[in-house]
Every structure is written in C-alpha cells, then in structure tokens.
Amino acid sequence: MKLNCGCGNVPLIGYTNIDKYYYPASSRPLNDNLLADTWNQLHPESPWLDGDAINLEFPDEHFDEVIMVHTLEHLSMEDGNLAIKEAHRVCKTGGFVEIEVPDLTRACESFLNVHVTPDGDNQPWHRIMGCIYGTTGMDGEGQFHLCGYSKEYLRFKLEERGFKDIVEIEVGFGHGNNEAGHPEPEYDFRMRATK
C-alpha cells in the first residue's frame, strides 16, 4: 500500500491520495473539476480523500511507501515536523518516504541575481517568489508557503524522526498536473529515506 500525502490536485493511481484542501467533495477551487467528480468512481482502488498530514487517520506501519510532493512547505515549521513524524508512524519498517520541496538555499541564491524591471521579463523574479512564498493565494489558503527547507535541514528532520539511508533522488513524479510530473530540478529537491 502507498500513500500520496498532500496530493493537492494530483491524485495518483496506485496510491491512497489525501489532501486537507483539495479533494473531490472540497469547497476549494480544483484545477480539474471533472477529474474530481469522477476520480473515486473510476479509481476506487486509489481513493482521493480528505486528510491531514499532521494527523494521518491510518494505523501504525500501514504503508510501504509515503510520498509528500510539495506538501511540507505549505505547513508551519512545527506542523512540518509533525507531518514527518506521522509519515514515520504510518510507514512500515523497511518502507520508505519520499519528500520533494522547493530548495530554499537555491531560491535565496537565485533571488540575489534576479531583478524586476519595468520593461523586462520579470518571470524569473516571480518564479523565485513562488518558490519562497507560494502562490498569490487566489487558488486557496493551502497554496501559501509557511516554511522553507534546505537539503541539510530536511535530512536533519528525517534523521531526527528515525529515518535512515537518506538519499537525494530525481524530482518530478507526482508534481504538477499529471502523474509523470513536472520536474524542476533548478528549483526543487527530493529525498528518499528508509524506516
């Protein structure tokens, strides 16, 4: 069994998909209302449900794999720590967790080199602001970023919760608007850790 925790608008086949803000019965704006209306009927083995990363309503050692793709940055520092603790609790011994987040170190370094100009291309500046702060909020309060992660800090938090064999892996799976993902290695990083 596999858990896609904080799936947003990207439920994945083969996973139990949960999100606090975005799920089929949610009153929040969804990127694809047709997908939300039909997902649970078309994919009953991969439900898309209301769920909270800091209070996972699953038994201990329930999942072989837990993924959190662009989830932790939407939580406060304290709640991010709780979410990692919960992921450890529901992950089976020998199973693994994968966490992908914006790279705060790289965003801060990039910020020093991008500038806003009246007649220039300001997209790079907006993209860096998105990495740090999230979106404008027009698509819901769940889109703001409340905490940033460096590779060093995420590794420390995973170790603190009892994970081991922590490695950096390729970004992208489950991020964006489809299962294949929308890899942005220039902005993000992903780690896999074993329980």
Distance CA(170)–CA(72), nearest Å, equals 18
**Paired tokens of 194:** 């074993």
How many structural domains compose the chain? 1
Question: What confidence score (pLDDT) does residue 156 get?
Answer: 98
Confidence bin at 142 (pLDDT 50/70/90) = confident
In angstroms, how far is CA 153 from the centroid of its own chain? 16
**Paired tokens of 100:** 């992908």
Q: Is the pLDDT of residue 181 over 90?
A: no
The model carries a pTM of 0.92
Tokens 């902005």 locate to 187
Of 56-60, 148-152, 175-179, give the lowest mean pLDDT range: 175-179
Instruction: Please state, as a whole number, how many other Cβ atoms lie within 10 Å of the Cβ of residue 125.
Output: 17
Question: What confidence score (pLDDT) does residue 93 get?
Answer: 98
Question: What confidence score (pLDDT) does residue 177 get?
Answer: 61
Residue % of the chain over a pLDDT of 70: 92
Distance CA(12)–CA(46), nearest Å, equals 7
Which residues constitute the domain of residue 158?
2-194
Q: Of 66, 90, 103, which is closest to residue 187 (Cα–Cα)?
A: 103
Question: What confidence score (pLDDT) does residue 81 get?
Answer: 97
Question: What confidence score (pLDDT) does residue 70 get?
Answer: 94
Q: Of 41, 42, 61, 50, which is closest to residue 16 (Cα–Cα)?
A: 50
Instruction: For residue range 84-140, list pLDDT tens digits in order.
Output: 999 999 999 999 999 999 999 999 999 999 888 888 888 888 889 988 998 766 666
Classify 55 as helix, strand or coil. strand
Task: Output the domain CATH number for residue 176.
Answer: 3.40.50.150
Question: What confidence score (pLDDT) does residue 176 get?
Answer: 66
